[in-house]
Structure 1
């Protein structure tokens, strides 16, 4: 087998070769397989995140590959699978269909007196479940092939199939969830697999022993009660409280160590771009003032590695459909790939 890195210079001009970061790997030679999921059927505010995998791919060759945590991290081999056009096409169709349901609900009109929309809702839920199953199968195959896996969404509903795959492979793991939103709503707007329901659905998996949420600042009463009644299975670090502690003299590094102490040995990172300050990803689906700086987020994930915990997978979701957002999203993907490799 040819060695793909034998004549590769990581300091050279980034190659536009179809692979993420212009790296010289394919499915066979890569260790990390990135699966794009261009899906945002249930977005309830701004659209465009279905194009995030393409935006991130387009921006990625512009990034330098050197990293202070893991200087040779690119050598693990990173390969992004082809963006599935059939899923992108279905997304476009069902996104328009879902909008009619959302518009009706926003006007305060129930679906019960609109049988056509009730049957449409059932169809959308089934289609979303089919996408989850497709991702489950793709992740299962890659893991069976000895690969590690990451997902680039779409909206935050995108990675559920991967979380389900990991539940088949680990008897217990935790999620470190960076987000402005708790995503603990039960079938938000009637959509069983809503972007606002990803963590509600994840918590149905008994293998997920802990959910640690960081940066929450746009949250409903029901979600707060869900967190408070979770018997410490869900631990929330709300953005206003984080900021108050920082203003009062607590260091971010000490807070990171406290956050990480809640996590079990195996950790999955779920990174929603709206967990960041919106100046970094202003075109994300549901931007909220406040949030983390990019280096704050990286510092937190670095502490997961420094603690001796193992990162078993990650997703990056809700990156907006804009060049700058793609640039930031690509940097998040690269850093998480390097830190996951380091944690192995």
Structure 2
């Protein structure tokens, strides 16, 4: 794809045979503890992925997928995002910098709007080819455009959010599109009927109150409730999976934030939280959905750091997500 627009530049054979088409989105400017490392993860993940044996005995070669170039770049505003985050996070917020910082915020929001729009456009074109789009971030805000694009094709679907955080924060006076507000924006989509938040364990009072109030739409499976069920009541993970299977729609979008996993599996993630799920536990759930006949209509993989250990886990997650997505349409 060219730098100034979206175009599918794939080998005809790849385009013909692939069911999943990946959109790398190098975007990572809206997180506290900013270092921008996750914005470059997509390239590293795809490089590692290309060195794997794609064959899976359960799915055959279903992990094969096509790739487009990234439709976005935010390099010229990363410095502004960092300056704004430093200003709001130092506890002093000197008024002498307020005008400058508000302009930085405005500039970042403008570019964020463009990012969301570009991802939505790319996803729409992929869907028009009867392919399944996925986003490889970048921070979690990169997923919104894809979820928006799905609403034109699917009248109703569920969102399976695998995450340490609820990401339901109202942006308020901060970045309009940030990693912590992506599900706040997704909840505005009428077609997204149900949200299954699995593994969440770090959230605000307001986020928890909102999810609790909207119990017919938000289904929380916190890390604590999962562990208490397993260790305290003798329930096993399959019971949690079966609860989800009974409630979820026949079409599902999977939002996979790497920090849903235990920190040893994402040691350099910016917002890791102890008490996460393990790798096979997550994919037991996803594979159960597929076996149950649920169709995966898209997915994202976000918040992966660029260090080798993190990239390896991220690439393996991408492999399994792609294989399950393709197979769900058989």
Alignment TM-score, normalising by the size of structure 2: 0.91
Residue of structure 1 equivalent to 2:154: 170
Change (3 A) 1:172 1:27: same
CA contact (8 A) 1:155 1:285 kept: no
**What is residue 37 of structure 1 aligned with on the other side?**
25
Residue 310 of structure 1 corresponds to 295
Segment drifting more, 293-302 vs 246-255: 246-255
- After superposition, give the CA deviation of every residue in 1:246-297 in whole Å (9 maximum; x if it has no partner): 1132111121111232211110000000000111111112111120100000
Residues 1:338 and 2:327 aligned together: no
Q: Counterpart of 1:271 in 2: which secondary structure?
A: strand
Q: How far 1:42 sits from its partner (Å)?
A: 0.6
Looking at structure 2, the residues matched to 237 and 39 of structure 1 have their Cα atoms a distance apart, in angstroms, of: 28
Per the TM alignment, residue 71 of structure 1 is displaced from its structure 2 partner at its CA by: 2.3
Residue segments in structure 1 that go unaligned for 5+ positions in a row: 1-18
Q: In structure 1, the residue corresponding to 2:267 is in which secondary structure?
A: coil
> What CA RMSD, in Å, does the superposition of the two structures yield over aligned residues?
2.1
Closer, same or farther: CA 110–330 of 1 in aligned 2, 3 Å: same
Counterparts of 1:188 and 1:283 in 2: how far apart (Å)? Answer: 28
Name the residue aligned to 2:83: 100
The one of 242, 258, 264 aligned to 1:257: 242
Alignment of 1:23-102 (within 5 A): 26-45=14-33, 47=35, 48-74=37-63, 77-83=64-70, 87-88=72-73, 90=74, 92-102=75-85
Change in CA separation of 1:278 and 1:46 when aligned onto 2, cut-off 3 Å: farther
User: C-alpha displacement at 1:179, in angstroms?
Assistant: 0.3
SS of alignment partner, residue 206 of structure 1: coil
Tell me how far 1:169 sits from its aligned partner.
1.0
Aligned-pair distance for 1:314? 0.6
- Give me the whole-angstrom Cα distance separating, in 1, the residues matched to 2:146 and 2:301: 12
Q: Which stretch has the larger CA shift, 253-262 or 212-221? A: 253-262
Q: CA deviation at 1:342?
A: 1.6
In 2, are the aligned partners of 1:102 and 1:189 still within 8 Å (CA)?
no
Cα distance in 2 for residues equivalent to 1:287 and 1:329: 14
- Contact preservation (8 Å) 1:212, 1:262: no
TM superposition shift of 1:189: 6.1
- What is the Cα deviation at residue 162 of structure 1? 0.4
Contact 1:112/1:118 (8 A) holds in 2: no
Q: Cα distance, 1:129 vs. partner?
A: 0.7
TM superposition shift of 1:94: 1.9
Write the distance in 2 (CA, Å) between the matches of 1:180 and 1:162: 21
- Secondary structure of residue in 2 paired with 1:315: strand
2:277 matched residue in structure 1: 292
C-alpha distance 216-177 of structure 1, shift in aligned 2 (>3 A): same
Equivalent residue in structure 2 for 1:268, among 253, 261, 269? 253
Q: What is the CA-CA distance between 1:188 and the residue it aligns to? A: 6.4
Change (3 A) 1:243 1:237: same
Q: What is the distance in 1 between the residues matched to 2:218 and 2:253?
A: 14
- The answer as to 2:215 corresponding to 1:226 is no
**Is the contact between residue 18 and residue 66 of structure 2 (CA under 8 Å) also seen in structure 1?**
yes
Distance 1:46 1:294, change over 3 A: farther
After superposing on structure 2, the runs of 4+ consecutive aligned residues of structure 1 that deviate more than 4 Å are 109-113
Tell me, yes or no, if structure 1 residue 194 matches structure 2 residue 151. no
Query: How many residues end up aligned between the 2 structures?
Result: 318
Deviations 1:183-209 (A, max 9, x none): 000116611101000000100111100
Deviations 1:1-32 (A, max 9, x none): xxxxxxxxxxxxxxxxxx99xx9953354332
Unaligned runs of 5+ in 2: 1-8
TM-score for the superposition, normalised by structure 1: 0.87
What secondary structure, in the 3-state scheme, does the structure 2 residue paired with 1:257 have?
helix
